[in-house]
Chains A and B, each alone.
Chain A
């Protein structure tokens, strides 16, 4: 039996800045994880991934990242995604400084 599907977001790095981006409900690339669309079934996840991959002139290295939704907030479930959503831990650079 296959594993149950866990919620996901479509993520990549923006072509020009290299910054981490996520797909939102309008299929636009957004910088803040909280603005991302959380996909809850496998079929639409695969479809969205394919669509995002076709937009290689906007973003690079598209993949599906696991998330969880708690109290209306999107939470990462792996530490790598937590760093991607926040920025490095040695300086206040990246999203932690740029997102208001």
Chain B
């Protein structure tokens, strides 16, 4: 993984010193809140419902044990002993005191981390496939390019005051695990007819109040052209993006209003100017970064201990069947650690759990960890012989829940329990759904199912691309939950369809239950997933299950 050089360290030290002085001046009264707010947001510090919140970037979701342990230390020393992993591969601390934030940023800098550009109208944390560098279906590890984008976008003078925030996601695999079609720019690695790797460039995707699936701007962009081409896109967005209305300022609206062809022409024109101006410096930098992302030295050992445990221990077998993904090395496995034990807050990990995961990465995982946009933690490189020991350790620490990709593996934003923008709660709805289906012991029978919950229209919980999406709203002073169906965040991306009127807080879990029983009745066979059944039959039978009284009235 990438390690900071002197330039990175000096830059961060200077930024942190600046922010420390800004905090001091805010506290002594020299700065008003209006003056201070843009400064704190540039450094990831929000003021939420009950407290400040510090959002720390985990670039392309990659961590090592030292970084994870430092995140745990920060949680213990300056917060309430836990952190919340988010859908954009960040970690949020919900309870910092303003006076402590400069020290927290210095502690992050010690391990090469920061909170810069985790807010504001800038290029945000570049997110990536959480299986990058390990996945069996991968063309190339996309993280060197993601790191190049991080270096280029951090404090980029031209892009500090964009019309609106700007999000980039990247994957090196044809199977899209990074929701690239719901980002301002999505980069999906593909091969051309000559077999060379490059990128399909997708633009104008996004969720929020106007959800849109991204459109292909370039079928194939040679790898060497990536940075000037991305700069050309952001530059066009910067000029054309509407600053008169923040709801129309994202590039998805710019593409929609100007047309894809116009945007393409403008980007190509700008790219033609920029490409020679780069003089190949980006490629020199990239080569240096790539060297730091060399694959770990995979070990060879017998996988017999794994096979033995798999045969004899049903709990281990269930966990392997659900939480393990095929690695590009047959003797290895990718482990997804669920931080969604039934009834727990999706995405929250205690400092102790963070340390356990750091220890496992160091001992068994070539010192690598990833955070997924689905709010789980990944050990990307594990020799199969170590899986029984890892499982045992996870079990001791409440981390062995076998639910990856199942109904209780729910994405949920913080919602009105923490967020100042939220219109309803998300977390308790997720907790109740998970608890309910665990009681029913139906989770594994239901199979692949993605429920995603947002507590407001801004859609941090990705509800539009959930197979079942839940959107919490404030209807006349009461929490109300709308259901969307058939959303998909992968390479076959689709925006979910609204099922009908919303449900009250105490009606939403029973409604989900009716929906699931309807699916179990309707599916062709046990292998047909919820999404496949929905695509085959459409909304009508699910709607009938959700609103039985409407059916009765119509009869």
Shortest Cβ distance from A19 into chain B, in angstroms?
A: 6
Contact status of A77 and B477, CB under 8 A, knowing A56-B32, A84-B49, A84-B50: yes
Q: Taking the complex as formed, is B373 at the interface, i.e. its CB lies under 8 A from any CB of chain A?
A: no
Known pairs A61-B47, A88-B417, A90-B427; A18 contacts B98 (CB<8 A):
yes
- Roughly how many angstroms separate A16 CA and B32 CA in the complex, as a whole number? 13
Given A84-B49, A90-B345: A79 touches B479 (CB 8 Å cut-off): yes
Q: Are B98 and A16 in contact (CB under 8 A)?
A: yes
Partner of B417, one of A57, A77, A78, A89: A89
| Cβ-defined contact, A79 with B50, below 8 A | no
Q: Kindly state whether residue A17 has any CB partner on chain B within 8 Å.
A: yes
Interface residues on A, range: 20 to 34
- Across the A-B interface, how many residue pairs have beta carbons closer than 8 Å? 70
Tell yes or no: B408 within 8 A of A by CB: no
Q: Is B463 an interface residue (CB 8 A)?
A: no
Residues of A within 8 Å of B98, CB to CB, are: 15-18
Chain A nearest CB from B10 CB (Å) reads 30
Q: How far is the CB of A11 from chain B (nearest CB, A)?
A: 11
Smallest CB gap from B34: residue in A: A56
In the complex where A15-B27, A17-B98, A79-B477 touch, is A60 in contact with B50 (Cβ < 8 A)? no
Q: Is A83 an interface residue (CB 8 A)?
A: yes
Q: Which of B40-64 contact A (CB under 8 A)?
A: 47-52
Whether B417 lies near A83 (C-beta < 8 A) is yes
Best-buried of A57, A83, A88, A95 by chain B (most CB within 10 Å)? A88
Interface residues of B in 62-82 (CB under 8 A from A): 80
Pick the residue among B94, B99, B425 that contacts A16 (CB under 8 A): B99
**A18 near B50: Cβ-Cβ < 8 Å:** yes
Once the chains are docked, how many angstroms separate the CA of A14 from the CA of B75? 21
A7 on the B face (CB < 8 A): no
Residues 55-72 of chain A, each 1 if its beta carbon lies under 8 Å from chain B, else 0: 011001100000000000
Q: Are the CB atoms of A90 and B48 closer together than 8 Å?
A: no
* Chain B residues, Cβ within 8 Å of A90: 345, 417, 427-428, 431
Residue in chain A with minimal CB distance to B28? A57
Which chain B residues border A77 with CB–CB below 8 Å?
477
Report the contact-size class of chain B (Cβ under 8 Å from the partner).
20 to 34
Chain A residues whose C-beta falls within 8 Å of the C-beta of B417 in the assembled complex = 83, 88-90
Task: Known A18-B98, A79-B478; judge A87-B427 contact (CB<8 A).
Answer: no
- Residues 4 to 31 of chain A near chain B (Cβ within 8 Å): 13, 15-20
Contact B50 A88 (CB under 8 A): yes
Contacts of A13 in B (CB 8 A): 47, 51
Q: Which of A15, A61, A78, A87 contacts B50 (CB 8 A)?
A: A87
If A15-B98, A83-B416, A89-B417 touch, whether A20 touches B50 (CB-CB below 8 Å) is yes
Determine whether the beta carbon of B47 is less than 8 Å from that of A80.
no
Query: In chain B, residues 1-60, which have Cβ atoms closer than 8 Å to a Cβ of chain A?
Result: 26-27, 29, 32-33, 47-52
Residues of B within 8 A of A91 (CB): 80, 345
Closest to B36 in A: A60
Question: Contact residues of A with B, CB < 8 Å?
Answer: 13, 15-20, 56-57, 60-61, 77-80, 83-84, 87-91, 93-95
Q: Which residues on B are within 8 Å of A, measured CB to CB?
A: 26-27, 29, 32-33, 47-52, 80, 94-95, 97-99, 345, 416-418, 425, 427-428, 431, 474, 477-479
Can you list 23 residue pairs at the A/B interface with Cβ under 8 Å?
A13-B51, A16-B27, A17-B52, A18-B50, A18-B51, A18-B97, A18-B98, A20-B49, A56-B33, A61-B33, A61-B47, A77-B477, A79-B416, A79-B478, A83-B49, A83-B416, A88-B427, A89-B428, A90-B345, A91-B345, A93-B80, A93-B94, A94-B50
* A-B interface, 7 closest residue pairs, ranked by CB to CB distance from nearest: A88-B417, A18-B51, A18-B52, A57-B29, A94-B50, A90-B427, A90-B345
